[in-house]
Amino acid sequence: EVQLVESGGGLVKAGGSLRLSCAASGFTFSYAWMNWVRQAPGKGLEWVGRIKNKIDGGAIDYAAPVKGRFTISRDDSKNTLYLQMISLKTEDTAVYYCTTDYPRFIGSDSFDIWGQGTMVTVSS
């Protein structure tokens, strides 16, 4: 079964740091382009960033609100995606999802597989 499982969320004070993980199973993780998407309480979806696979160069792109504060990385040997967050702000409070178009719709740049999300709460 294709699955993504996020972990690492929690309560942190503004200015603090947190690292999220996304464990992938059921597909060849090293081939997938992986994304982080977040959703603040009662709000819409917001794309956070994407990391390509190493075959395609491994480029990483970020949304403007998180650029310079968030870092996306991957460990293909552990089938795991990471999101390192520093200098957290109260507006970063959200459910964080990892998602990918792989394997069913590879190259479509859609978000087919989603994890259950992990909640990050940044207090003032």
Partner 1 sequence: SYELTQPPSVSVSPGQTASITCSGDKLGDKYACWYQQKPGQSPVLVIYQNIKRPSEIPERFSGSNSGNTATLTISGTQAMDEADYYCHVWDSSTGVFGGGTKLTVL
**Interacting residues with partner 1 (CB under 8 A):** 35, 37, 44-47, 50, 59, 61, 63-64, 97, 101, 104-105, 108-112, 114-117
> Least distance to partner 1 from the beta carbon of 73, Å?
17
Q: How far apart are CA 72 and CA 56, in angstroms?
A: 16
Distances (CA, A) of 69 to 11, 15, 89, 108: 18, 10, 10, 28
Nearer to partner 1, 29 or 96 (CB): 96
Q: Which is nearer to partner 1, 14 or 119 (CB)?
A: 119
Distance separating alpha carbons of residues 17 and 51, to the nearest angstrom = 20
Nearer CB in complex with partner 1: 79/118 = 118
Q: In the complex, what is the shortest distance from the CB of residue 86 to partner 1, in angstroms, rounded to a whole number?
A: 21
| Residue 85 beta carbon to partner 1: minimum distance, rounded to whole angstroms | 18
Residue among 13 and 67 whose Cβ is closer to partner 1:
67
3-state SS track over 3-71 = EEEEECCEEEECCCCEEEEEEEECCCHHHCCEEEEEECCCCCEEEEEEECCHHHCCCEEECCCCCCCEE
State the minimum distance, in angstroms, from the CB of residue 105 to partner 1. 6
